[in-house]
Structure 1
Amino acid sequence: MRDQEPVPRDADRRLSTKEAAELLGVKPETVYAYVSRGQLSSRRVTSGRGSTFDAGEVEALARRNKRESAGSSGSGGELSVRTRITLIESDRYYFRGVNAVDLAARHTYEEVAEWLWTGRMRPGVTFTAPADSVAVARRAVAALPEHAAPTDLLRVATIAAATADPLRFDLSEDAVLGTARTLIPTLVAALPPVRHDRRDEGPLAHRLWIRLSGQDADEASLRALDAALALLVDHDLAASTLAVRVAASARAHAYAAVSAGLGVIEGPLHGAASGLAHRLLLDVLDQGDAAPVIADELRAGHRIPGLGHRLYPGEDPRARALFTLLERIPRAEPALLAARDIVETTARHAPLHANVDLALAVLTTSCGMPSTAGETVFAVARTAGWIAHALEEYGERPLRMRPSGLYAGPKPPQPLPE
């Protein structure tokens, strides 16, 4: 027997609390919980006693709840998590309903992060770190071996910064926002600089530049780095973001949630992808032709990095925006031509567009940065998105990110092992 669908109603009709609760299959107090979470809007009745609800909104929420219930019941559906942060559709993506590429074109990374966290724009905002937090993080990072990867440094710096914050267990919105605004600059400050610059201040992109490149930073290059941070700040429920939400669902504090995300991006299919594209680009630049390099990669059974994206059937909008900025940097021209050669060579058999990893590789190779620089940019940028998702998850029911396992082992009872 098919489940009964919600009865269509006139779009202008308002529902009482009791009617809304019946349609949603919940108690009246749960309806008001939906309102407090921003999932429903309400309007006080003229008498001042009770509220009414838009029928269309209630029916849409009932359908979403039904889909989520079906997805978590072992029917094979993918896990879905309701979020108000990022939407990806039709080869575009949006932060709180605003085109993310337009935001990155007009605002700094810090301003975009604030928008993601609060839905409010704060022009000119700059994140600064407390001296004691930076000192603790730097001491912890300095104790690591020289071969430690950037994500090792950032993860250790995150844990160290947590120990210096006695208020880390306060999960109120104001407290978590305070953590966000100090943790990100602390992570950057904890990274050892490639060159010492007395002007280790100003926008975060400038402070990050001197930790990634020994070259002088011109305005166009700094703008490209800042835009890369803003473009990468969030991307829906990527694997690292899901890990962050699981941690936040268990009410881990923001530092621990960020640490969970940093642990996931070390995978070659996630944050490390730009490093693979960086090395591919260097090989093409060295040989002057993409064809033999692509042939060697395919012969070795490798997937060509920097091409295609499962969420964008067409062009990755982040790559397009970053390429546009890179075209304004004269020293980036050889790497841009090499990237174009890679795309055109592979397009003979697989018409895939360049993704943001290839665009990031053009930035890192042309600006004298190491192959790990793209992973560092990605991790610093995405920290803001992780905190946005942690904040959102703190407002949900605790431990809701707890799927049931489908046991496939030997059927019990089995004898005790010898």
Structure 2
Amino acid sequence: MRVSEYKFIDEEKLYSNFREKQSSCESSLKIVLLGELAYNPERIYALEEAGHQLYGLWLPTPVFSFSAVGPLPFGHIEDIPLGSWKDGFAEIHPDVIYGMLNFGSVAFAYDVMRACPDIPFVWHFKEGPSVCLRNGVWDKLIYLYTHAAGKIFLNDMVKEWFKQFLPPTSGLSLVMDGDLPKMDNFKNDFSPKLSAQDGEIHTVIAGRMIGISDTDLKVFVNNNIHIHLYTENYYNDRARENIQRFRTAPNHFHVHPHVSADNWTKEFSQYDAGWLHCLKSNNSGDQLKMLWDDMNIPARISMYASAGLPVILYNNTGHIVATQDIATKLDIGIFFKDAQELSTKLKDRIRMQQLTDNMLHNRKLFSFDYYVPQLIQLFRDIIKMKI
């Protein structure tokens, strides 16, 4: 599938390992996937590998280009016709409904939950609370989190933030990001570092380039630090932005085509560190002032984890920021206040090796497979609660 001049996806190759029919486990569950899968949709095959039967009731009008709804080119998900989904449910007798993931699915999931009060329902939400407010579905989002038997939050910061708006309930919860990739994409085909060849620092951006100014680029050029940009979407807009970047750093700014998930480790491991969204928080530790950028952990962090790359992010000490929290706890972050400080830290080879080792040690935490046992246990626990 050719998405653009820069992005070609060979679905036959990419999903070749996710098509084998799996055997059912003892006490296999019938799980209805409701809504959308978003990034890394092949992750859901891990539930089949665990021995469960999947069904799909998909969002009829996806909002984003990455929403990912069925029919899917992997796995053996049985799609339920939208026009007769209630009849489909009556025939299937699902054990649990797993609703997800972004704001476009909120109203759809709300309607299905209201229509199926006797089926255990798990709600998993990512992006984003403010978008729900702007689009008039905030009340339905709160209803889903209030009445779902199982509630999945993206991270600890988000879970605490939602507590401000949710009544105390007896529902069970889990913390897990929404679009984690399959562990199969975390390979061991690591490449030699470019820095070992030329003695310069090479960093990578998988996606949008956020928070790096032209002035910063000049500092990086003076310190022989390269930025390798892998643009994923909105190519025309990015191409215009890149014109000035090429002028500022003709030998240190590089643009590369899309890399499929099965090549993440090999491609990205040649770099020294990966950039997250470098944004400055202004919440001063006040939950009510938190914005989406404070709550979000960008999907690109899993790409970097697959390659064992520490992450670069602005130092938001004194503010509530999810990326700062996880990077601090795992000791995988290169925090900076300005470009010169970052340049100095990137040249500290001993510390950089420590951070790299820490990411390699923890990279499984950024895969969906790691959480499958916890997710299945959540399903089983809420099913018991309904009996």
Instruction: Tell me the TM-score range normalised by the shorter chain.
Output: under 0.3
Q: Which has the higher contact order (CA 8 A, sep 6+)?
A: 1
TM-score (norm 1): 0.25
Tell me the TM-score normalised to structure 2 length. 0.26
- Higher CA-based Rg: 1
- Kindly indicate which of the two structures has a greater share of residues assigned to strand: 2
